[in-house]
Structure 1
Amino acid sequence: MTTESEQRSARFNVLEIIKHFPETAETLLVDQYLTSTEAASARVFRVYKGTPPHYHVGCDEYLFVLSGRGTFWMEDASTEAEFGPGQLLYFKKGTVHALPEIREEPVVFLSVDTPRREPTDIVFVNPEDGTPATFLARNVKD
């Protein structure tokens, strides 16, 4: 059996994966990792609620918009602009970003993080806005 770290190539049916995301969620996001190596991770995620300002300590992030529309800002709220399918959003680790408004659902991104993003790598600017467990379904402890 080949482990993910030994795997040299793969194909993913991203559209099929998206079909299995729930219609609603208690958390802001639900995701599925496609790859996860030390150098990078790739995942698909759906956003269910506006996302408050936050940043990631360990990785740069590339977000390709697969579906949906909303507003997104990077660095500060003055950069807020609409996003839609086909757009690529990029920001370096430590860059504060937010998705204040969902205008058309479902909002789904293909994310590539370099190096790999740990699921708990989420720091809210205002700690009252959330925790890793309120951000991402995989961080919820049963």
Structure 2
Amino acid sequence: MPDSENPARERGRFDIGAIAAALPESATTMLVDTYLTDRPAASARVFRVYRPTPAHYHEGCDEYLYVLSGRGTFWIGDASDEAEFGPGQLLFFERGVVHALPHLLEEPVVFLSVDTPRRAPTDVIFVDPTTGTAQSFMARNAAGADPA
């Protein structure tokens, strides 16, 4: 939905807790997201992770992940860097840097994400292509999904 059709986006006010609570309890993909803003300079989303996420990277953006709920492990750059994360922590990585979320320890795992510049929904490259695709990564990319 374009920003002009969503008054909350025009005012720049979002109820992050309500948005996170509205994400589905389960999904066939690794994650489901909701865009807060979607502009060329940056996009902001709330997303829930439903299963471990294999090593991957994004070609077009830097990503900031603020942990809203849940706990898990995450590594950035090298699997030997794996460490736990939890609510209130911020994870940051630049475009092209490989990262993974190998373990979900306490659910729901929900992040507020800011991507600079905007990250196209299909901008996900798995290090091992047999572990995932853009379609298996995000619900909006799944077959038959609304491309909004």
TM-score norm. by structure 1 comes to 0.95
Aligned to 2:115: 113
Aligned to 2:61: 59
* Aligned counterpart for 2:97 among listed residues 92, 95, 98: 95
Aligned to 2:12: 10
- Distance in structure 1 (CA, Å) of the matches to 2:5 and 2:78: 40
- Distance in structure 2 (CA, Å) of the matches to 1:85 and 1:47: 14
| Gap regions ≥5 residues in structure 2 | none
Bigger proportion of residues as helix: 2
- Distance in structure 2 (CA, Å) of the matches to 1:19 and 1:2: 24
Structure 2 residue identity aligned to 1:62: Y
Shift of residue 141, structure 1, vs aligned partner: 2.1
- Distance in structure 1 (CA, Å) of the matches to 2:38 and 2:101: 24
Percent of aligned pairs with the same residue? 64
Structure 2 residue identity aligned to 1:12: F
Which whole-Å deviations, capped at 9, do the CAs of 1:93-124 have from their partners, x for residues lacking one?
Answer: 00000000000000000000000000000000
* Aligned counterpart for 1:129 among listed residues 123, 131, 134: 131
Structure 1 residue identity aligned to 2:73: T
Q: 1:131 to 1:82 in 2, by over 3 A?
A: same
Structure 2 residue identity aligned to 1:66: L
Verify the 8 A CA contact 2:4 2:10 in the aligned structure 1: no
| Gap regions ≥5 residues in structure 1 | none
Structure 1 residue identity aligned to 2:113: S
Deviation >4 Å, runs of 4+: none
- Distance in structure 1 (CA, Å) of the matches to 2:117 and 2:16: 21
Which whole-Å deviations, capped at 9, do the CAs of 1:7-44 have from their partners, x for residues lacking one?
Answer: 76410111111111111110000000000111000000
Aligned to 1:46: 48
Shift of residue 81, structure 1, vs aligned partner: 0.2
TM-score norm. by structure 2 comes to 0.91
- Distance in structure 1 (CA, Å) of the matches to 2:4 and 2:37: 13
Aligned to 2:141: 139
Q: CA RMSD in A?
A: 1.4
